[in-house]
Structure 1
Amino acid sequence: MARSNDEVEALLREYADLIAITGGDAFKARAYEKAARAIGGHPFDVSRLGQQDLRKIPGVGRSIAEKVEEYLRTGTVGAVEQRREAIPAGVRELIAIPTLGPRKAMTLYEDLHVSSVAELAEAIRAERLGGLKGFGKKTEENILHGIELMEQAGARIPLGTAMDPAEEIVAELSRLTGCAHCAYAGSLRRVRESVGDIDILVAARRADPFMAALGELPSTAEVIARGTKKTSIRTVQGVQVDLRVLPPRSWGAGMQYFTGSRAHNIRTRTIAVHRGLKLSEYGLFDMDSERSVASHTEEEVYARLGLPWIPPTLREDRGEIEAGLRGELPEVVTERDIRGDLHTHTSLTDGLAPLDEMVAAAARRGLRYYAVTDHAPDLAMQRMTDEKALAQRERVRELDGAHRGMRLLHGTELNIGPDGEVDWPEDFLAGFDLCVASLHSHFGLGRRAMTRRLVRACEHPRINVIGHPTGRLIGKRPPVDADWDEVFAACARTGTALEVNAQPDRLDLGDEDILRAKEFGVRFAVDSDAHSVLHLAQLRYGVGTAQRGWLTPRDVINTWPLGRLRGFLAKGRKR
């Protein structure tokens, strides 16, 4: 079922949008956004907390706590309903468009009577926005691109959204008597940034108990179809789940077949045919005798095809078959290889947990080193100062090695300005152990200016990592337009790593950019960008994305021992 925390987070985010649409206090809207993030990232179920405990969550005061209690008690909040009634449904539809803010949505409704996405697209094509203040040609292009992003996303589900119900269902079905194996497959197992639906496989001698159990799970909203070999349901989150039950002897073949991708499977079936074999979800069979020659494990199936086992994240027909046949398949980076996290936040800026809690949680995850990189002063809303940074550094030094021997690095996440400048002068930055620099504004700069901006950041002697380099938010904001070959070359030349940001709405760099950047000799940092204790676990999404980009531990700086990492962070400077 959907976590109460997630439901409350969505409600408070909507309320913040409604406040912004109606011209309400911007500070109040930001307060509700911050409270929404805090509740979404809170480790305990808010439905079990009283008001006093709710108010201990960062950013949750008396008024917000009362609204949370009202929602959990009644399923609605009067103040939210009042705001909804004051705003036409069409305006609420418009603000779902990436790149279109609440104020502009209201202007479109009031001045042009536009109340749907289709009407807005038509108004732009008919050039009806020309006379509206604040709606220039560039704005129109951005809105159309936002509509395209919505259409591309369609019914696809973000990776992070799909993973929770998939793991819940696997856990529930694995408990049933007779379950030999249970796992998710498909594009979720390949760690694609979004999935069409969730594929669950079970190995068991009898299918009926599993088909029945899936339909009765608390997270199941609707049984779409039920059969002897396959049952499809829709979860309360609106995600379709397809369950297939296979004989235990076919487990390996079934996992290979249903993991995909389609292009990869075409290649493996072609190899099978050339060897006089037939490959299906039930096994690999001799074409003449129909005798099974491999089926129990994926390793058996691939070996019989003359291939090593291929990690699911590589199965996209992007050269993995050829590399396997040549014996040159990479040993891709795994979560076990990650020694440290180089991009995290605390409640000193926009994180949800204080420094001590984040450090303790990171140590419990077995990290050997950990960097705190709160925002620098140019993001004014975070209210960072020199004095706050120095005080934090002192506390970081006190905590260094205090939790399971984990070493601490004091860093900062700088803002890359429109000309490539960053927040603090070089002499102040010299006191940090590492500097991450990221784009947080001016996403619409032209290609040449954006390229120059990023290259200049790479050339800064104190910048070690470019954080979430393209600035994309999946399904919400497109990547910035830059000459990425020039940026990749600058990273390789200056010894600046590119981040693989693990936040599931970023996954930035994406796999195709990683593949390209690796050709230039770029190094990478796979980071959680955690803003709460729960976010630390999202590092796995970054690792999966890194695998899809064929990265090995040699390519990823935070798999290295701390001594070697410090040498890289020196960026060629004498110490």
Structure 2
Amino acid sequence: MARSNDAVAALLQEYADLLTVTGGEQFKSRVYEKAARAVAGHPGDVAAVDADGLRQIPGVGASIAEKIAEYLHTGHIEAVDTLRARVPGGVLELMRIPTLGPKRAAQLHEELGVVSIDELRDAIVAGKLSGHRGFGARTAENILHGIEVLERSHGRVLLSVAAVAADEIVAALRGVRGCLRCTWAGSLRRFRETVGDVDVLAAAADGGPLMDAFTRLPMVADVLAKGSTKSSVRLRNDLQVDLRVVPLASWGAALQYFTGSKQHNVRVREIAVRAGFKLSEYGLFRVEDGSLVASETEEEVYERLGLQWVPPPLREDRGEVEAARAGSLPALVTEADIRGDLHTHTDLTDGVTPLADMVAAARRRGYEYYAVTDHAKDMPMQRMTDDKVLAQRREVRELEAAGGPVLLHGSELNIGPDGELDWPDEFLAGFDLCVASVHSHFAQPAGDLTRRLVRACENPYVTILGHPSTRLIGKRPPLDADFDAVFAAAARTGTALEINSFPDRLDLSDELILRAKRHGVRFAIDTDAHATVHLDHLRYGIGTAQRGWLTADDVVNTWPIDRLRAFIAAKRTVAAGRR
């Protein structure tokens, strides 16, 4: 079953934002933000936790625990409803725009009188932001881009939201009598970063019981259509899910057809037509006599067309059909290939879980090695100091001595506006590895951003460039940098590029991975976990890496620890020699 944590965390974060808009104490707003992160990262379902248990969650005091309990019993929080009523509807709408925080949304409403996103766009185009404090030309441009991002994402959800819902639905339907097979298809099976609706495919002799069970699921809010072979519902989170039921004999052809993409299927059907076949969701048939050639498995369908089976994440008409015909598709990296996570956090900075618990979770996953990379000191809100990080290093060594994975003590460094890092080289030399990431000054000119990233790559102690484009899907666009220049620098210096598995990042994107791979760079698929539950996000990073055609050898954290250490040492030696 889906956990209640995400819904509770979203309400707590909304309350924090509303406090900011209505002039509440900033300290109180930060308390609720911290509680929201802690609830989202709590390993158990808060719906199954009693009042005392809720207060044991870091950052959740008695008042917040009462609000959580209120939501779990009533479906709403009165304090949130009260603050919503105090905020003009126009401000609430403006707060949906990526890059526009609650304070600025309120300022725009008060100073310009705008009450909708369309009115704000018209005001920007008319130059009405000019002269208002904090809204220069670059800020106006960023707001317009944020509006575009919001409009493009309308009706789409993050990959993780769709996957969690689909997993629950498939698990429920597999238990229905008469269900022979069931899985999800469509863009979700191809691991697209956002999903418009979820396609579920099932095989059964009689679709009636499956349709009854599907339309009666507790998560269903509305039944949009119901039939014997296809039904559509809208879930309580507003996600549409379509269920199709086919005979078992048609399973492979139907799975191929409903997985897509449309462009991939067009290319495959063109091959079928030229060979004298007709391909549909029911099977591959000879045109001359209508006889069935293949339908039971996807592999059989592709094989009869002279193609290798194409892994779903590759099915985007980006050269995979030609590669399948030539028998040259890559052996894609899988979750089983990953030997360790190289970017994780603890409650020493902005994580919500103690170091020992994070290490224990890594041990349960069977990792060969595991890196702890809390934030460095140039981000004041993280309250990191030299003494704190050195004390953590001693704790890491003690935990490693107690058994389990090899522990790598690292840091996520902040790449400053000029490309400078938090600590001097002599201090960085004490870390086993370092991740370096941009966390601020996103609106610099393209040339400055490019130099900033290149300079980080050139530092001998930067092993991995973290979430390189800094994008937040649906919230913040990628940096306006020359990424080909960055990729060339990463290849030249032996710096790995991160594929950050957090569902709202998936950074690098698949398009940038494809470009970076052509430069010959190496990659690291990391979770950027801030809690033990975040380690499960790895599957989204793997799916993104597969969409970028990566093999296990392309990814440094599939390598044995000795090879990984040699990679780190080689960069330190070569890059230091260039200085």
Range class of TM-score, shorter chain: over 0.9
**2:499 alignment partner, SS class:** strand
Match of 2:504 in 1: 505
Instruction: Give the deviation of 1:129 after TM superposition.
Output: 1.6
**2:407 alignment partner, SS class:** strand
CA distance in 2, matches of 1:519, 1:195: 28
String of CA shifts for 1:516-568, please: whole Å, max 9, x gaps.
Answer: 00111110000011111110010010011000000111110000010000011
Match of 2:116 in 1: 116
* 78-87 vs 237-246, which moves further: 78-87
CA distance in 2, matches of 1:252, 1:85: 53
**1:442 alignment partner, SS class:** coil
* 68-77 vs 318-327, which moves further: 68-77
CA distance in 2, matches of 1:264, 1:456: 40
Instruction: Give the deviation of 1:459 after TM superposition.
Output: 0.3
String of CA shifts for 1:16-74, please: whole Å, max 9, x gaps.
Answer: 10011123222221211110111112122212322221111111112211222222233
Cα pair 1:23 1:103 within 8 Å, conserved: no
Match of 2:337 in 1: 337
2:465 is equivalent to residue 452 of structure 1? no
Match of 2:306 in 1: 306
After TM superposition, the score normalised by the length of structure 1 is 0.98
Instruction: Give the deviation of 1:101 after TM superposition.
Output: 1.4
String of CA shifts for 1:155-193, please: whole Å, max 9, x gaps.
Answer: 111101111110000000001111111000000000000
String of CA shifts for 1:325-348, please: whole Å, max 9, x gaps.
Answer: 112111110111111110001111
Q: How does 1:43-442 map to 2 (within 5 A)?
A: 43-400=43-400, 402-403=402-403, 405-442=404-441
Cα pair 1:8 1:36 within 8 Å, conserved: yes
Cα pair 1:285 1:291 within 8 Å, conserved: yes
Cα pair 1:352 1:531 within 8 Å, conserved: yes
CA distance in 2, matches of 1:366, 1:179: 34
* Ranges in structure 1 where 5+ consecutive residues have no aligned partner: none
CA distance in 1, matches of 2:284, 2:402: 54
Instruction: Give the deviation of 1:402 after TM superposition.
Output: 3.9
Match of 1:20 in 2: 20
CA distance in 2, matches of 1:7, 1:564: 42
Match of 1:518 in 2: 517
Cα pair 2:461 2:572 within 8 Å, conserved: no
CA distance in 1, matches of 2:182, 2:379: 46
Instruction: Give the deviation of 1:571 after TM superposition.
Output: 3.5
**1:570 alignment partner, SS class:** helix
The amino acid that maps onto 1:277 is F
CA distance in 2, matches of 1:80, 1:151: 26
Match of 2:577 in 1: none
2:8 is equivalent to residue 5 of structure 1? no
* Ranges in structure 2 where 5+ consecutive residues have no aligned partner: 575-579
CA distance in 2, matches of 1:50, 1:505: 30
CA distance in 1, matches of 2:271, 2:558: 36
Cα pair 2:495 2:571 within 8 Å, conserved: no
CA distance in 2, matches of 1:2, 1:543: 22
CA distance in 2, matches of 1:401, 1:331: 36
CA-atom RMSD in angstroms: 1.3
Instruction: Give the deviation of 1:278 after TM superposition.
Output: 0.9
Instruction: Give the deviation of 1:196 after TM superposition.
Output: 1.1
The amino acid that maps onto 1:518 is K
The amino acid that maps onto 2:457 is C
The amino acid that maps onto 2:247 is P
The amino acid that maps onto 1:559 is T
* 74-83 vs 253-262, which moves further: 74-83
Instruction: Give the deviation of 1:308 after TM superposition.
Output: 1.1
Cα pair 2:460 2:573 within 8 Å, conserved: no
* 78-87 vs 382-391, which moves further: 78-87
The amino acid that maps onto 1:504 is P
Distance 1:76 1:324, change over 3 A: closer
The amino acid that maps onto 2:82 is Q
CA distance in 1, matches of 2:83, 2:7: 18
Cα pair 1:129 1:135 within 8 Å, conserved: yes
Instruction: Give the deviation of 1:401 after TM superposition.
Output: 6.0
The amino acid that maps onto 2:466 is G
* 102-111 vs 303-312, which moves further: 102-111
Instruction: Give the deviation of 1:233 after TM superposition.
Output: 0.4
CA distance in 1, matches of 2:69, 2:273: 62
String of CA shifts for 1:305-331, please: whole Å, max 9, x gaps.
Answer: 111111000000101111111121111
Distance 1:177 1:76, change over 3 A: closer
* 108-117 vs 462-471, which moves further: 108-117
String of CA shifts for 1:190-248, please: whole Å, max 9, x gaps.
Answer: 00001110000001110111111111000111100112221000011110000000000
Instruction: Give the deviation of 1:574 after TM superposition.
Output: 4.7
Instruction: Give the deviation of 1:363 after TM superposition.
Output: 1.3
User: Runs in 1 of length 4+ with deviation above 6 angstroms?
Assistant: none
**1:233 alignment partner, SS class:** strand
**2:332 alignment partner, SS class:** coil
CA distance in 2, matches of 1:6, 1:488: 35
Q: How does 1:555-574 map to 2 (within 5 A)?
A: 555-574=554-573
CA distance in 1, matches of 2:14, 2:571: 48
Instruction: Give the deviation of 1:79 after TM superposition.
Output: 2.4
Cα pair 1:462 1:571 within 8 Å, conserved: no
* 74-83 vs 174-183, which moves further: 74-83
The amino acid that maps onto 2:248 is P
Instruction: Give the deviation of 1:290 after TM superposition.
Output: 1.2
CA distance in 2, matches of 1:506, 1:269: 34
Distance 1:461 1:224, change over 3 A: same
CA distance in 2, matches of 1:78, 1:315: 47
**1:400 alignment partner, SS class:** helix
